[in-house]
Amino acid sequence: MNVLFISNLYPPNVVGGYERLCFDMASALSVRNHRISVLTSNYGGLLEDYPGQDVDRSLQLLADSRDIYKSYSASESQKKALNAHNAAVLERKLAEVRPDVLFVWNLFFLDHSFLHTIQTSGYRTVFLLTDNWMILFLRPAFWHEYFIKYISRRSCGGYKSVSSQSWAAAIRSALGRLRAVIHQENPSIHGEAIFPSRFMKSLYAQAGFKFRKTAVIPHGVSLMQREDGEYRDRMVPVKNGCIRLLFAGRVVEMKGVHTILEAMPEIIRGLPETEVQLMILGDVRDIEYMKKIEAMIQRLNLSDKVVFQPTVQESDLFGIFQNYDIFLFPSLYEPFSLTLIHALASGIPVAASDVGGNQEIIFPDRTGLLFSGGDSRSLSRAVLDLAGNPNLRKTLAIEARKVAMEFTFLAMVQKVEAYLNT
């Protein structure tokens, strides 16, 4: 096949997991003798060539050049010029490559007019919808209502008193403005969709989207075969007299780190003879959210309990998971997580929020525990249950390792390749 990938970001310029997954998929299809071209942005400024891939970094994002999480400020004429540039770049690339299929990943920080250019190109188009970007483009009113009903309510308790009210108000205001501009209902997309989870397929259906064809292909990760001796015995803590908690992911509102912090005092009270430690491992570039997190840590007197470390390579995750007792995954909204698969494969006991795609891999009392998203008391109960039940930890660890093997990157590649070939 002759495949043109389109993605707003592409390694070595990355923010989250989907850019790396996009790169891994492109690399895998290239190795399998498909012709691979990539159209992406110049955001981040890093350049690297990859064997078997023609990477064009000519797109320009509508994003602050220093902080991608910061609101983009530009005049309407500047935005119009950027949108015209991106449309011209796409048309040039299509004429140059003449692909069999456009494989579109994430278009956040591009304009909905760019999506329109893709839609009217006449080429077969397959969207891999790992997130809600298309809903925001074409059904912002739906997302506004969904956000208020299912997500903003999860930012509650102590965290809401210091930060979430203003943040949620800003989201409502921005989406309200979009709602006033775009009125398209039940958009019929000139393309096909691959979803990473049944949750995402259902979300787009609720939003009224109609695609020519759809499929659910779960995300997958590369997993090594390991000897039993490489896995920690989960019957005993990593360190005597201590419970070591771990969060790994982007430190942004949607990942729910504030829920862990809200739960920490209750966890500490519930383990009076145990030292409680929390490691937060990940990208902390969301400056405004980090300010709020740091304020929470001070207010709750957690400075000696919480440590931050930067993002690590995917290959390092297994070793890190062996050094912690419980992995916490408190997302407020989650399509389908790659990090969660790595955690299950490592055998670390997991407590995850009951949102989105989490429920399609975390099966209660089998592969992990689920707690109510945004509910710090529910999270603390899950942690205390795991801390006090060695047999449960062992059972979860063994079963999680088995289930994780169903979500390999190779399986994903084979299914995506077969789908694109149809």
Summarize pLDDT for 102-113 with one digit per residue, the tens: 999 999 999 989
| Cβ within 8 Å of residue 259, ≥6 positions away | 154, 159, 330, 332, 353, 373, 374, 375, 376, 379
340-384: pLDDT as tens digits? 999 999 999 999 999 999 999 999 999 999 999 999 999 999 999
Q: What is the mean pLDDT of the chain?
A: 90
Q: Which fold has domain 2-159+177-221+409-421?
A: Rossmann fold (3.40.50)
Residue 185: per-residue pLDDT: 56
Contacts (Cβ under 8 Å, ≥6 apart) of 251: 257, 280, 282, 283, 284, 286, 289, 290, 293, 308
**Mean pLDDT, residues 284-297:** 93
Res. 159: pLDDT tops 90: no
User: What global pTM score does this model have?
Assistant: 0.86
- Alpha helix ranges (H) inside 304-346: 317-321, 338-346
With b for 16 or more beta-carbon neighbours within 10 A and e for fewer, the 283-309 pattern comes to ebbbebbbebbeebbeebebeebbebe
What is the pLDDT at residue 161?
35
Alpha carbons 232 and 236: distance in angstroms, whole number: 9
Q: Quick one: pLDDT at residue 218?
A: 95
To which CATH superfamily is domain 228-404 assigned? Glycogen Phosphorylase B; (3.40.50.2000)
Q: How far apart are alpha carbons 72 and 300 in whole angstroms? A: 33
pLDDT tens per residue, range 232-273: 999 999 999 999 999 999 999 999 999 999 999 999 999 999
Contacts for 91 with CB less than 8 Å, ≥ 6 apart:
117, 121
Q: How far apart are CA 261 and CA 42, in angstroms?
A: 36
- Where in the chain are all domains bearing CATH 3.40.50.2000? 2-159+177-221+409-421, 228-404
Q: Mean pLDDT across the stretch 177-203?
A: 76
